[in-house]
Structure 1
Amino acid sequence: MKLKPTLFFCTAISLGLALTGCQTMQSPSKITSQQQTAQQFKITGKIGVRTPQQNGSAFYGWTQVGDQFAIDLTGALGIGQTSIRGQVGDVTLTSSKTGTIQAETPEELLFKATGWQAPITYLISWINAEPASKNAEVKKDTAGRIENIQEGGWSATLSYSDQQKLPNKLVLIDDAQQNRVTLTIQTRN
């Protein structure tokens, strides 16, 4: 099934994606198995995406346990409820407007549907204020928290509330500065 980019755009933002046209992105192949299995969070909030072609926002709920995740998206430009489920080797997107699409990785799922690439795998680590690979360039604030991560052709700026150790907002910008994702975390369990 071939999807219209606008339709898939709405579903993709639930993953915290910035749509990057046909830009090449480095693969997060240097992520260790310990980093992959250690990731665990349950967050809700709002995500906004701005590209040269379109803008959009949605509310999301994202549960991550090791390499398995479940993301639910609502309110994205009238697309309705969208679910994205995945684990290593099997990622599925389901909505009443798109049906079901499957791929081996979130990046592949996005590419299959639109031809776009984005730092989905990196975002899982960035939500926990960690770099995703050994190749990341990291800057810390005066409290010792990571405030910026340069990795895979993207810059992630992390903002914190008061003395919190985990970010409540992430702003992702690609190196070409044409695509921007703002992920606001309203609740974290």
Structure 2
Amino acid sequence: MPVVPHHFCRLFNFALLSLVFLLLNGCTLLQSSVKPSANLIKANNVKALTQWQANGKIAIISENKRQSANFNWLQHNEDYKTYFNTFLGINVLTVKRDSEGLMITVGGSTYQGDNPEQLVFDLTGWWLPMDQLSHWLKADVSGEEGSITRNAQGQINQFIPHCSQTLCSTDYVINYGAYRQVEQLLLPHSVTLQANGLTRQTLKIKIQQWR
């Protein structure tokens, strides 16, 4: 059997990686051409934005580990479905909440429960307050819900929620940045959550597109 030269293998691997990056870039270009939802076009404040989609990247940073994933969040009123995938598109976590309840899929197995934050942590080690994130991502918060600080432009740059133990299993500090105009709204494209419970984690969320 003929032996394949090492330099040929390296060239083949480089070509394969180049093809993967081209495909990924192609997907990004396709995503950027997607039109915004009718609700996003009509909404004139963040509370009126009840049907939306956001995609981007998330980094989960703990004391001895850093993990990252791409995410795609679909929201319809209080129902949501969120996919977390590797950069190659392999799904690692799906969280779905609708009228039938909460379902979380990890490694091909589906689990049900009442508390998405605790269940996601038990299954993955990630502190993801999913129910609250559906509002926190778009900076849909009020002074009744927590402590708010704003920048010179009046945009929220920090929110410290007053969560009860039943709603939040840990204490959070949320920092916002990179506000950009999306239709009639100024929406954050950088959201950082600091989880200050028994397990400390930082979640860095970069939103590439609202629609």
The aligned residue for residue 184 of structure 1 is 206
Asked whether the equivalents of residues 40 and 64 of structure 1 are also in contact (C-alpha less than 8 Å), the reply is: yes
- One-letter amino acid matched to 1:181: L
**Are residues 188 and 39 of structure 1, via their aligned partners in 2, closer, same or farther at CA, if it must alter by over 3 Å?**
same
The aligned residue for residue 51 of structure 2 is 40
The aligned residue for residue 28 of structure 1 is none
- Is residue 2:172 matched to residue 1:154? yes
Identify, as 1 or 2, the structure richer in helix: 2
Match among 158, 167, 170 for residue 188 of structure 2: 167
SS at 2:187 equivalent: coil
SS at 1:43 equivalent: strand
Any unmatched runs of 5+ in structure 1? 1-34
Any unmatched runs of 5+ in structure 2? 1-45, 164-170
**Are residues 115 and 46 of structure 1, via their aligned partners in 2, closer, same or farther at CA, if it must alter by over 3 Å?**
closer
Asked whether the equivalents of residues 130 and 146 of structure 1 are also in contact (C-alpha less than 8 Å), the reply is: no
Q: Could you state the TM-score of these two structures normalised by the residue count of structure 1?
A: 0.68
- One-letter amino acid matched to 2:135: S
The higher-RCO structure (CA 8 Å, 6+ apart) is 1
**Are residues 38 and 106 of structure 1, via their aligned partners in 2, closer, same or farther at CA, if it must alter by over 3 Å?**
farther
The aligned residue for residue 147 of structure 2 is 137
Distance 1:87 1:109 in 2: 16
Deviation of residue 99 (structure 1)?
0.9
Distance 1:181 1:92 in 2: 22
Q: Percent identity?
A: 20
Distance 2:208 2:76 in 1: 19
SS at 2:188 equivalent: coil
| Structural RMSD (CA) | 3.1
**Are residues 65 and 117 of structure 1, via their aligned partners in 2, closer, same or farther at CA, if it must alter by over 3 Å?**
same
Distance 1:45 1:179 in 2: 19
**Are residues 70 and 37 of structure 1, via their aligned partners in 2, closer, same or farther at CA, if it must alter by over 3 Å?**
farther
**Are residues 37 and 113 of structure 1, via their aligned partners in 2, closer, same or farther at CA, if it must alter by over 3 Å?**
farther
CA deviations on 1:85-141 (whole Å, 9 max, x unpaired) are 11266111224x241111124224325536875433222111111227823100111
